[in-house]
Every structure is written in structure tokens, then in C-alpha cells.
């Protein structure tokens, strides 16, 4: 039975993805450690440090060995790490060649190199989803560049905007996230090979050659020095997950607000029974957005765990490092679930342009009071224009009449503007400023990011 819902056979579909769980589950981690052991043997054989036939036997054994879970659990309980039990199983499977297994390595070399391989797979999964979000939001921004809607500040009507610009604002952080992934990967996908205390003394003059050969064999980069107690790379990876989830949460929050019955400008893509209530047949709750927010809160709560684990003491940590497995896999599983759900929103969001227009007109032109003020300011001065339009706005609100009608009562307005000019100034579609240019700039950034793939 799973204690964490993200690992549950029942609830896991809401909190993560099977693809990311497959990267980080127990057997995947064991397999990656065996991959590292096999690669180490091959490299050391090429360098003449162990017999070639021993390396062949070790690599073959690593491909077929299936550690006994109960025996390995007993070893972990006794030792504190899985490598001793795993290496013992590998050595038994390799027969006489087993005595050359794990030559010159230490536990954390194997575990951290395996973790680097897992992170490589995990970041690739995230990048695929982020790129899809960029593509979908760019298409939405283009599609809705002229779909006018109320812009809201403090949850109240502020000025007209377009849904295309809203999508462009959602889009740009994901463009940045693509760059962040690409810039971060060389700092994260690093082989770990330093021996017992980070000196590789057990391999004499061959230490660096083994480290560089192991990196090449695994498709990882070789760091300038071992990172046993320099955990900034993996802390950065989880911190990135926090940022990525934050951008997903922004979209989810907006979708929840746009989907309110009183607003009803957009809604999550619907399927039969999706977001239904056990008692209210009409309900279509924004379930995907709700779970994006839940995942984001948890991932962001895990970031301090990883950053706190950076304070490893001396050449091998006595506790901070051991906290990482509690945080890192869950952070990536939850993040992948959040970005997959966000991709679903970006690709399938239902947009009601007609409702957006009705909501835009709901205040009778008050949403463009700034436009009127700016139109009068050259003739009256900004302060006087602000005062006049504010008085007209108060009249419109108190009497429930359109702003244009209230403005027509103001001598300061009618002395400068005729009815046609007032109508132009109170038309929300004429007060969109640089929204189109901003959309173009966002689309240019998105195209450039996608072209770099």
C-alpha cells in the first residue's frame, strides 16, 4: 500500500505520471547502478586495470542479474545503502570475475552516477512537455490575438486586453524554461567518480582516466572534480522543478478564475464525467487545474529540503545527503504530472469569445475610463481630465447608465468631444495599446526556442 498518493495505484493518476515514476522507481535505480558498474568494468579493462574477460563477464552479469528484493532490503537496513548488497549479487552472478567488480569505486560513486542517468531521462521527459506547451500556447496566442476580453487587476475589471496576450504572457516563462533546461543539463548530467574521499587514491595514476572514460561510456560529462559534497547541481534541478510548477500554477489559477460560473470565459477540456460531483449533476469542476496547484505547492515545499541538503559535512555527509531521496524523485514525479496537465490545458482549453465580449461590456464602458481620460488630457490636463472622468464614472455606477451617457452630461467633456469622439474613446476594441506587438515578440521568442531543438 502506498503512503504517498503520488505512488498510489489508485491516486497516482492525479499526482504525476507513470513515465516519470518509471524513471525513479526502485528497480530503475538498481538497473542504473548496474549500468554504472558494467560501464566501470569496461573502462577499466580498456585501461588495463582489470582483465578484459572479467569486464565481459561483469557486464554480462549486470545485464541479467535480478537482485532479491528481500535480501537487498535486509542489506540496506544493515548498511544504510543498497550498493553493498547489489555489488554482492553482481559479483555472485559474475562468478570468478566477480572479484574485479566495483574496482576502486565507492558507494556514492555508483549511486550518484546512477542518479545522473535518471536525471538525464527525467529532464528529457520534462523538456518534451515544456516544448509542447510552448507550441500550444504560441498557437493560442496567434489564434486569439484579436479576441478582446476584460483585463483584471485585483480581480476587478481594469482595461481591455486580448486572450491572445494572456496566452503570450503564459507562454514566455515556458520559453525561458526550455532555455533553463538546456543550460542546466551540463551542470546536472555529470558522472560521479571520486573514490572513498574524493581523491581516487585507490586507482593511483589512472584515476582521472577512469573518471573520464566512465563519463564517456555513460554519455555523461566529466566534472573538474568529484561532487560528492557539492550538491548544487541536483539542488538546482529540483529548484527548477519549483519554478516550472510555479508557471504551471499561474495558468491553472487563471483557468480556475476564468471558469467561474459568473465569468465563464474559458473552461478545461471536458470529457464525460470529468470533474463531476457525486450530488450535483451540473458540475464540471476544474480538476486538472486543482491538481496542478496541489503539485506545485508540494514541489515548492521540497525545494528547501534539497537546498538544505547542500550543507554536506567534510568529504561525505552524515545526514543532509540522505534527505535527497525523500525529495528529489517526488519532486520530478509531481512536476511531470503538473506539466502534462498544463499541456492538456494549453492544447484543449475551451474559450468562449462571446462571453468575453459580454463581460467586457458588462460595466457599460467603465473599463475604458482611462482611455477617455487620456483622450481629454491634452486639452484639459491630466489631473483635471482624471477628475472629470472619475466624476462621470461615479455617475455611471450610481445610476446604472453607460459611461458614454454620463460623459455627455459633463460640460468639460462635451466642450472638447462630440458624440462620435466619445463613442470612439469608449470602444474597448480601440484601446489595446501594444498588445499585438507584445504577442509578436512572444511568438518570435517561442519560434526561436523551438527552432533550437
What is the pLDDT, as a whole number, of residue 75?
87
- The pLDDT of residue 281 is 57
What is the 3-class SS of the chain, one letter each residue? CCCCHHHCCCCCCCCCCHHHHHHHCHHHHHHHHHHHHHHHHHHHHHCCCCCHHHHHHHHHHHHHCCCCHHHHHHHHHHHCCCHHHHHHHHHHHHHHHHHHCCCCCCHHHHHHHHHHHHHHHHHHHHHHHHHHHHHHHHHHHHHCCCCEEEEEECCEEEEEEEHHHHHHHHHHHHHHHHHHHHHHHHHHCECCCCCCCCCCHHHHHHHHHHHHHHHHHHCCECCCCCCCCCCHHHHHHHHHHHHHHHHHHHHHHHHHHHCCCCCCCEECCCCCCCCCCCCCCCCCCCHHHHHHHHHHHHHHHHHHHHHHCCCCCCCCCCCCHHHHHHHHHHHHHHHHHHHHHHHHHHHHCEECHHHHHHHHCCCCCHHHHHHHHHHHHHHHCHHHHHHHHHHHHHHHHHHCCCHHHHHCCCHHHHCCCCHHHHHHHCCHHHCCCCHHHHHHHHHHHHHHHHHCC
Contact by Cβ (8 Å): 298, 248: no
Q: What mean pLDDT comes out for the span 19-41?
A: 95
Residue identified by cell 457599460 is 364
The pLDDT of residue 78 is 84
| The pLDDT of residue 452 | 79
CB-based contact 375:386 (threshold 8 Å): no
Query: Whose CA is closest to 138, among 444, 452, 360, 451?
Result: 444
Please give the pLDDT value at position 422. Answer: 86
- Residue with the three cell numbers 561532487: 227
340 in Cβ contact with 17 (< 8 Å) = yes
Q: Answer yes or no: is pLDDT of 280 > 70.
A: no
Report d(CA 307, CA 325) in Å as an integer: 13
- Asked if domains 5-357 and 366-425 share a fold, the reply is no
Hey, how many other C-beta atoms are within 10 angstroms of the C-beta on 264?
Answer: 14
Q: So what's the pLDDT on residue 71?
A: 83
Please give the pLDDT value at position 35: 96
| pLDDT (0 to 100) of residue 77 | 87
Q: What is the pLDDT of residues 154-165, one digit of tens each?
A: 999 999 999 999
What pLDDT band is residue 38 in, cutting at 50, 70 and 90? very high
The residue extents of the domains of the chain are: 5-357, 366-425
pLDDT digits 0-9 by tens, 166-185 = 999 999 999 999 999 999 99
Q: Cite the active site residues.
A: 277, 316
- pLDDT class for 274, splitting at 50, 70, 90? low
Q: Nearest to residue 94, comparing CAs of 71, 68, 60, 66?
A: 60
Inter-residue contact 105 to 193 (CB < 8 Å): yes
CB 107 within 8 A of CB 117: no
Per the DSSP assignment, residues forming a β-bridge with 162 are 148
Distance CA 241, CA 328 (A): 10
pTM above 0.85, yes or no: yes
What pLDDT is recorded for position 240?
A: 98
Q: Give pLDDT, residue 279.
A: 61
pLDDT higher than 70, residue 275: no
Whether 189 shows a pLDDT value over 90: the answer reads yes
Residue pLDDT, tens place only, 425-452: 889 999 999 999 999 999 999 999 999 7
The Cα 208–Cα 254 span in angstroms is 52
pLDDT band at 282 (very low <50, low <70, confident <90, very high): low
- pLDDT of amino acid 13: 81
Which of 60-74, 179-193, 280-294 bottoms out in mean pLDDT, i.e. has the lowest? 280-294
Computed over every residue of the chain, the mean pLDDT equals 92
Task: Give 324's Cβ-side CA count (13 Å radius).
Answer: 27
pLDDT band at 67 (very low <50, low <70, confident <90, very high): confident
How confident is the model at residue 44, as a pLDDT?
97
d(CA 261, CA 241) in angstroms, rounded, equals 32
| pLDDT above 70 as % of the chain | 97
pLDDT digits (tens, 9 = 90+) for 381-403: 899 889 998 999 999 999 999 99
- Chain centroid offset of residue 219 CA: 24
Q: From residue 386, how far is each of 264, 370, 400 by CA, in Å? A: 32, 8, 20
Residue 272, pLDDT score? 66
pLDDT at 33 over 90: yes
Assign domain 5-357 one CATH number from 3.40.720.10, 1.20.200.10, 3.50.50.60, 3.20.20.70: 1.20.200.10
Please tell me the class of the 366-425 domain.
Answer: mainly alpha
pLDDT recorded at residue 271: 66
Amino acid at each position: 500500500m502506498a503512503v504517498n498518493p503520488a505512488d498510489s495505484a489508485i491516486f497516482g493518476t492525479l499526482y504525476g505520471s507513470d513515465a516519470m515514476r518509471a524513471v525513479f522507481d526502485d528497480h530503475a535505480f538498481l538497473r542504473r547502478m548496474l549500468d554504472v558498474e558494467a560501464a566501470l568494468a569496461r573502462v577499466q579493462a580498456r585501461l588495463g586495470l582489470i582483465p578484459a574477460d572479467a569486464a565481459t563477464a561483469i557486464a554480462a552479469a549486470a545485464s541479467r542479474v535480478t537482485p532479491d528484493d528481500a535480501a537487498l532490503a535486509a542489506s540496506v537496513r544493515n548498511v544504510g545503502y543498497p550498493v553493498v548488497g547489489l555489488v554482492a549479487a553482481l559479483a555472485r552472478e559474475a562468478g570468478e570475475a566477480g572479484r574485479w567488480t566495483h574496482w576502486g569505486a565507492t558507494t556514492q560513486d555508483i549511486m550518484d552516477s546512477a542518479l545522473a542517468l535518471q536525471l538525464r531521462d527525467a529532464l528529457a521527459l520534462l523538456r518534451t512537455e515544456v516544448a509542447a506547451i510552448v507550441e500550444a500556447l504560441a498557437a493560442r496566442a496567434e489564434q486569439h490575438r484579436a479576441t478582446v476580453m476584460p483585463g483584471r487587476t485585483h480581480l476587478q475589471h481594469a482595461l481591455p486586453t486580448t486572450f491572445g496576450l494572456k496566452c503570450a504572457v503564459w507562454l514566455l516563462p515556458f520559453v525561458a524554461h526550455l532555455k533553463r533546461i538546456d543550460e542546466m543539463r551540463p551542470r546536472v548530467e555529470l558522472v560521479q567518480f571520486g573514490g572513498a574521499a574524493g581523491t581516487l587514491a585507490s586507482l593511483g595514476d589512472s584515476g582521472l582516466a577512469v573518471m573520464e572514460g566512465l563519463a564517456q561510456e555513460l554519455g555523461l560529462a566529466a566534472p573538474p572534480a568529484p561532487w560528492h559534497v557539492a550538491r548544487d547541481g541536483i539542488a538546482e534541478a529540483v529548484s527548477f522543478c519549483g519554478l516550472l510548477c510555479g508557471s504551471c500554477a499561474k495558468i491553472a489559477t487563471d483557468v480556475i478564475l476564468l471558469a467561474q460560473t459568473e465569468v465563464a470565459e474559458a473552461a478545461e477540456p471536458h470529457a464525460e464525467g470529468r470533474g463531476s460531483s457525486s450530488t450535483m449533476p451540473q458540475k464540471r469542476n476544474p480538476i486538472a487545474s486543482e491538481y496542478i496547484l496541489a503539485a506545485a505547492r508540494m514541489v515548492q515545499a521540497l525545494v528547501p529540503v534539497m537546498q538544505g541538503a547542500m550543507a554536506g559535512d567534510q568529504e561525505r555527509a552524515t545526514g543532509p545527503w540522505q534527505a535527497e531521496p525523500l525529495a528529489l524523485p517526488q519532486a520530478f514525479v509531481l512536476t511531470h504530472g503538473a506539466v502534462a496537465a498544463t499541456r492538456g490545458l494549453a492544447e484543449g482549453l475551451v474559450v468562449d469569445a462571446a462571453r468575453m465580449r459580454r463581460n467586457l461590456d458588462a460595466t457599460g464602458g467603465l473599463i475604458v475610463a482611462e482611455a477617455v481620460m487620456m483622450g481629454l488630457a491634452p486639452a484639459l490636463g491630466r489631473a483635471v481630465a482624471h477628475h472629470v472622468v472619475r466624476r462621470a464614472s461615479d455617475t455611471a455606477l450610481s445610476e446604472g447608465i453607460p459611461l458614454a451617457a454620463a460623459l455627455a452630461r459633463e460640460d468639460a467633456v462635451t466642450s472638447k468631444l462630440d458624440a462620435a469622439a466619445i463613442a470612439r474613446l469608449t470602444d474597448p476594441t480601440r484601446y489595446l495599446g501594444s498588445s499585438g506587438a507584445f504577442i509578436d515578440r512572444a511568438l518570435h521568442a517561442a519560434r526561436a526556442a523551438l527552432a533550437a531543438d
